């Protein structure tokens, strides 16, 4: 595994030699799975007082394997850089679900999950991947 300084150098080298490919539409990939309200809730949020279906960022906590699969699919399709599935992980957006107090957890978990997948694919292919 490379350290952060080596990863930055590798990214600079990549950007100096070609256009880097960013992953695609996470929401579209998630929607293909036709998840139910129960899928979004998972065990932890089973009794949450508001509807959670459609909160794709929540899946990082309740369905991390699915998010890992989506990240991996983008990398296997040729993406160099993953986003973190935290597009709406801010207090204003999460307030729609009454989850504004979980902003830090959403962002930290999303970043950690993406980094784990990027590192795994980098180890398998010998090509650094970025988050």
The predicted model scores a pTM of 0.93
Q: What is the pLDDT of residues 41-73, one digit of tens each?
A: 999 999 999 999 999 999 999 999 999 999 999
| DSSP labels, 1-63 | ---HHHHHHHHHHHHHHSPPPB---HHHHHHTT---HHHHHTTTTTT-SS--TT-GGGHHHH-
Q: What is the maximum span of the chain, computed from C-alpha positions, in angstroms? A: 51
The band of 128, judged by pLDDT with boundaries at 50, 70 and 90, is very high
Label residue 1 exposed, middle or buried (CB < 10 Å: 0-12, 13-18, 19+).
Answer: exposed
Phi, psi of 93 (to 5 degrees): -70, -45
Q: What is the pLDDT of residue 4?
A: 87
């Amino acid at each position: 595994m490379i350290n952060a300084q080596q990863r930055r150098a590798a990214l600079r080298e990549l950007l100096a030699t070609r256009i880097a490919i960013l992953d695609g539409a996470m929401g579209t990939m998630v929607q293909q799975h036709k998840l139910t309200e129960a899928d979004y809730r998972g065990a932890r949020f089973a009794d949450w007082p508001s509807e959670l279906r459609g909160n794709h960022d929540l899946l990082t906590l309740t369905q991390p394997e699915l998010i890992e699969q989506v990240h991996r699919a983008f990398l296997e399709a040729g993406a160099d850089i993953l986003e973190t599935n935290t597009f709406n992980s801010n207090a204003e957006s999460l307030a729609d679900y009454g989850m504004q107090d979980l902003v830090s957890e959403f962002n930290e978990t999303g970043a950690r999950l993406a980094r784990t997948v990027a590192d795994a694919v980098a180890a398998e292919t010998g090509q650094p991947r970025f988050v």
